[in-house]
């Protein structure tokens, strides 16, 4: 499945997730944080010891000349510059060796790219305001994130590859890709074939260093696709961990993981 066709599927409810990260070790757990004020702080999330990557969600407004704006639910108010306090939490996570990224898109928002030039402008904004560049208006203060995650569930399927390429020019690191909650790929109880076939196709066709398996952290976290811990550890992980591109698993989200304890239950098997 090509990156372009995978992004096209996001328009009918599937999700393509792409990470631009510095070097990472295989077998880690990534978690989404930022969309529920009751999920704990970012620093608390990293202090659990369960996660190797945290995706801050989301930047849901950008592109087409719009002023980019983050939305972190009840955690902070970006309109009053109130999210700069996350700088210390981000640095705390990074001091523990945890990679922290910004997730673009999400299930709601106003984001789309109108041209390659638009993609280049967004890449420049992201570099200067969240990554290693310089800006007087960095939403998270002086902390420099480790990368960008693409959670493209809306807009169009145009120019996301351009954005990834422009971002990669700022870094020596390659692309890492995850897939999450794709009905045609997902596990169904007692039948691993769809997931295993999709995994083999993605690891063969997608030019990525590492590929992560995206999972809902509880049955309530997504409309479908939840894999019980026993099935994940006994069937799914043994079927995919042999791939040289296996990077680990990604969970949506910290709030649901708090309720289910999913990451703690699978950590030793990932």
- Please give the positions annotated as active site: 153
Q: Are 90 and 100 in contact (CB under 8 A)?
A: yes
12 CB-near residues (< 8 Å, 6+ apart): none
Range list of β-strands (E), 98-207: 99-106, 110-111, 147-152, 175-180
- The dihedrals phi and psi of 146, each to the nearest 5 degrees, come to -90, -10
Cα within 13 Å of Cα(263), Cβ side: 28
List C-alpha distances in Å: 15 to 3, 84, 107, 151, 185.
11, 29, 9, 6, 11
Q: Are 250 and 261 in contact (CB under 8 A)?
A: no
For residues 139 and 241, what is the distance between their CA atoms, to the nearest angstrom? 37
Which tokens go with 72?
A: 């972190």
- The dihedrals phi and psi of 243, each to the nearest 5 degrees, come to -70, 140
């Amino acid at each position: 499945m090509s990156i372009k066709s995978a992004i096209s599927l996001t328009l009918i409810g599937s999700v393509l997730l792409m990470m631009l990260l510095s070097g990472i070790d295989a077998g880690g757990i990534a978690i989404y944080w930022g969309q529920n004020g009751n999920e704990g702080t970012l620093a608390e999330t990293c202090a659990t010891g369960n996660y190797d990557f945290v995706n801050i969600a989301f930047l849901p407004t950008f592109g087409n000349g719009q002023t980019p704006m983050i939305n972190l639910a009840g955690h902070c108010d970006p309109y009053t510059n109130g999210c700069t306090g996350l700088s210390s939490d981000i640095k705390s996570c990074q001091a523990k060796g945890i990679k922290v990224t910004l997730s673009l898109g999400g299930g709601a928002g106003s984001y789309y790219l109108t041209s390659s030039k638009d993609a280049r402008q967004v890449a420049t904004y992201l570099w200067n305001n969240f990554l290693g560049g310089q800006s007087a208006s960095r939403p998270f203060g002086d902390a420099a994130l480790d990368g960008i995650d693409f959670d493209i569930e809306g807009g169009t399927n145009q120019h996301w590859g351009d954005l990834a390429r422009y971002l990669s020019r700022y870094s020596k690191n390659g692309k890492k890709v995850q897939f999450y909650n794709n009905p045609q790929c997902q596990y169904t109880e007692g039948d691993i074939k769809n997931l295993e076939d999709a995994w083999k196709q993605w690891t063969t066709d997608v030019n990525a260093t590492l590929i992560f398996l995206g999972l809902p952290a509880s049955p309530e976290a997504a409309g479908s696709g939840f894999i019980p811990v026993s099935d994940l550890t006994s069937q799914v992980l043994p079927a995919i961990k042999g791939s040289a591109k296996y990077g680990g698993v990604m969970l949506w989200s910290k709030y649901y993981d708090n309720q289910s304890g999913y990451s703690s239950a699978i950590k030793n098997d990932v």
